[in-house]
Amino acid sequence: MKRIEIHTDGACKGNPGPGGWGVLLRMGTHEKELSGGEADTTNNRMEMLAVIRAFEALIEPCAVDLYSDSKYVLDGMTKWIHGWQKRGWINASKKPVRNADLWHELIEVSATHEVSWNWVKGHSGNPENERVDQLASDAAAEQARLLEEADD
């Protein structure tokens, strides 16, 4: 099984607002960057979409070391998900789980991989985190620019 290192981040200009996501995939010395965005979204959705798009880029089951500065994504996948599933996608506050559509998608795309979920502190000088943060921020800025152009 191939070992892949994945770094992800999401960004939003306003929350909600124009958003972007960034991914760095690394296998040995080979690297690939991915990014994208949406016109009207939230930061948490962009954090999740980054991870989803990273897994979608893998063409076979892999051992994945995933790094994110999103406690929301990491805690969701390692702590909260089992309770949500047991309670029929109702959270501890007895309300529907937010972003359930993306949680379902994330479960599906990560299922064939052996994943190690790792938290990194954002904006702390971690080179890979800074890199994906820039990709996400640039994608969010592009979405904001497109919206501004559409308003003109």
Domain ranges of the chain: 2-151
Q: Is the pLDDT of residue 9 over 80?
A: yes
Q: Is the pLDDT of residue 152 over 80?
A: no
Q: Could you say which of 36, 47, 76, 113 is catalytic? A: 47
Token pair for 10: 């999401």
pLDDT the model gives residue 80: 96
Task: Encode pLDDT of 45-92 as tens digits.
Answer: 999 999 999 999 999 999 999 999 999 999 999 999 999 999 999 998
Return the CATH architecture of domain 2-151: 2-Layer Sandwich (3.30)
Catalytic residue flag (residue 10)? yes
The pLDDT confidence band at residue 123, using thresholds 50, 70 and 90, is confident
Task: Kindly report the pTM of this predicted structure.
Answer: 0.95
Quick one: 120 exposed, middle or buried, by C-beta within 10 A (0-12, 13-18, 19+)?
A: middle
Residue 115 to residue 13: CA distance in whole angstroms: 30
Q: Could you say which of 7, 10, 38, 113 is catalytic? A: 10
Which segments within 14-144 are labelled E, that is strand? 17-27, 30-41, 62-68, 114-119
Catalytic residue flag (residue 133)? yes
Q: What is the DSSP letter of 58?
A: -
Q: Is the pLDDT of residue 3 over 90?
A: yes
Residue 118 to residue 83: CA distance in whole angstroms: 21
Number of helices (H) and strands (E) in the chain: give both, helices first: 5, 5
What type of residue sits at position 131? R
pLDDT the model gives residue 102: 98
Q: Could you say which of 30, 88, 123, 151 is catalytic? A: 123
Residue 14 to residue 65: CA distance in whole angstroms: 30
What type of residue sits at position 69? D
Strand partners, 22: 9, 35
pLDDT the model gives residue 144: 94
